[in-house]
């Protein structure tokens, strides 16, 4: 590969394998920076895009929205951002700033938001162009591959955790996490650090994920259809399985909360009203704001998180997605472009 080329993995339609592609290097426009990617996390949302669970744009997509790299070119008007600076690019890539949601400080719900690795080319690539306003500084105590999963798994986990705590009345002592993958393994450590007892629910028989949860400080780990030893103040659902909604409501105390953290979930089955009765709350978390990003990354700087990375060369992105779908690793998959050139 020549240094003037862009190299990346492109998805042309749902259900297809990714295609290796080369193009001339993109040039950043006004307000944009170009980043030489050093690591990009693989998120379950990427899998939903590949599997056709999300609306597919009218153009080919470069997936990837947990991007770490170094700025290598800047357009006009990018503030303090400068070449060689290490930065991260998350899921929220652009908002209008004018719609009702944006004006209310809820840019995560912007009606015409554009997302990295969906409407905008993402980080399964050697380089990415990003809007300078949506680029995040990264804490120095993480390597590039460790920092990548922070940018979605960490951020969305943080937003879900904060919402769960607020909905449960601010007092979160017993927390359940359903699906112990990339997001749960990070937010579990934040919760344990805050003095919370973490209960990890996994697929039945997933001894590796349960052992990983205990190793990170969970007081209990078991199958998702088993009752934990204590009623939960709140539960966060990271697994995209609708049956988990009534299962979680069943083990949450009155006044507690269940928060669904994924962008897609299979249908929620009907359930008796008694499971919701008692002022239990059921909510979803959508996307994230730049303020979430800054808040979580401050936390990650202060609470040293152990990030379990499963490394793949960029060209093996399909294999990483297959392994994520099948649950073949614990922690977070990370693509490394340097291993593919
Ligand atoms: Zn807007
Ligand atoms: Zn994500």
Predicted pLDDT at 23: 95
Distance, CA 296 to ligand 1 centroid (Å)? 22
Distance, CA 273 to ligand 2 centroid (Å)? 32
Q: What mean pLDDT is predicted for residues 155-166?
A: 95
Report d(CA 253, CA 251) in Å as an integer: 7
- Estimate to the nearest angstrom the gap between the alpha carbon of 336 and the chain centroid: 18
pLDDT at 46 over 60: yes
Q: What mean pLDDT is predicted for residues 179-205?
A: 95
Distance, CA 42 to ligand 2 centroid (Å)? 8
127 near 36, Cβ under 8 Å? yes
pTM over 0.75: yes
DSSP-H helix ranges across the chain: 44-50, 100-103, 144-147, 153-167, 182-193, 207-215, 244-250, 290-302, 317-326
Mean pLDDT of the chain: 95
Q: Write out pLDDT tens, residues 89-111.
A: 999 999 999 999 999 999 999 99
Predicted pLDDT at 86: 98
Report d(CA 202, CA 224) in Å as an integer: 6
Which residue spans of the chain are classified as CATH 3.40.50.720? Answer: 154-284
Distance, CA 103 to ligand 1 centroid (Å)? 7
Predicted pLDDT at 1: 46
Distance, CA 113 to ligand 1 centroid (Å)? 6
pLDDT at 231 over 80: yes
pLDDT tier at 3, thresholds 50, 70, 90? low
Distance, CA 244 to ligand 2 centroid (Å)? 20
Distance, CA 325 to ligand 1 centroid (Å)? 32
Distance, CA 154 to ligand 1 centroid (Å)? 24
Tell me the HSE value of 25 on the side-chain side, using a 13 A CA sphere: 16
**What kind of architecture, by CATH, is found in domain 154-284?**
3-Layer(aba) Sandwich (3.40)
pLDDT at 341 over 80: no
Nearest ligand atom owner, CA of 155 = 2
Burial of 196 (0-12, 13-18, 19+ CB in 10 A): buried
33 near 129, Cβ under 8 Å? yes
pLDDT at 24 over 50: yes
Nearest ligand atom owner, CA of 148 = 2
Distance, CA 93 to ligand 1 centroid (Å)? 12
Distance, CA 104 to ligand 1 centroid (Å)? 9
Report d(CA 266, CA 245) in Å as an integer: 10
Nearest ligand atom owner, CA of 67 = 2
Distance, CA 100 to ligand 1 centroid (Å)? 7
Q: What is the CATH number of domain 5-149+308-340?
A: 3.90.180.10
Determine what percent of the chain falls in helix, strand and coil, rounding each to the nearest 5: 30, 30, 40
Predicted pLDDT at 164: 97
Q: What mean pLDDT is predicted for residues 315-331?
A: 93
pLDDT at 282 over 50: yes
Report d(CA 176, CA 252) in Å as an integer: 9
Tell me the HSE value of 178 on the side-chain side, using a 13 A CA sphere: 30
Q: Write out pLDDT tens, residues 59-76.
A: 999 999 999 999 999 999
Distance, CA 121 to ligand 2 centroid (Å)? 14
Burial of 56 (0-12, 13-18, 19+ CB in 10 A): middle
């Amino acid at each position: 590969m020549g240094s003037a080329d862009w190299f990346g993995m492109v998805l042309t339609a749902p259900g297809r394998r990714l295609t290796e592609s080369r193009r001339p290097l993109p040039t950043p426009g006004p307000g944009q920076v170009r980043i030489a990617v050093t690591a990009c996390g693989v998120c379950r949302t990427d899998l939903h895009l590949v599997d056709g669970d999300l609306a597919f744009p009218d153009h080919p997509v470069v997936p990837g929205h947990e991007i770490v790299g170094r700025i290598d070119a800047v357009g006009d008007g990018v503030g303090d951002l400068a070449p060689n600076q290490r930065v991260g690019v998350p899921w929220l890539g652009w908002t209008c700033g004018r719609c009702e949601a944006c004006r209310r400080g809820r840019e995560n719900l912007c009606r015409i938001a554009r997302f990295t690795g969906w409407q905008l080319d993402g980080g399964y690539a050697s380089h990415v162009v990003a809007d300078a306003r949506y680029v995040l500084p990264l804490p120095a105590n993480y390597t590039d591959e460790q920092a990548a999963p922070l940018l979605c798994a960490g951020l969305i986990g943080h937003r879900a955790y904060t919402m769960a705590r607020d909905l449960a009345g601010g007092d979160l002592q017993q927390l359940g996490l359903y699906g112990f993958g990339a997001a749960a393994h990070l937010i579990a450590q934040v919760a344990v650090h805050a003095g919370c007892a973490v209960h990890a629910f996994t697929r039945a028989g997933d001894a590796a994920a349960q052992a990983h949860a205990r190793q990170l400080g969970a007081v209990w780990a078991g199958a998702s259809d088993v009752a934990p030893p204590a009623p939960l103040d709140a539960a966060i659902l990271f697994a995209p399985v609708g049956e988990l909604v009534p299962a979680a409501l069943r083990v949450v105390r009155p006044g507690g909360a269940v928060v669904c953290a994924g962008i897609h979930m299979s249908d929620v089955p009907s359930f008796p009203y008694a499971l919701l009765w008692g002022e239990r709350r059921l909510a979803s978390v959508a996307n994230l704001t730049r303020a979430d990003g800054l808040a979580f990354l401050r936390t990650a700087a202060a609470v040293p998180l152990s990030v379990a990375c499963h490394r793949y060369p960029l060209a093996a992105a399909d294999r990483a997605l297959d392994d994520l779908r099948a649950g073949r690793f614990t922690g977070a998959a990370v693509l490394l472009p340097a291993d593919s050139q």
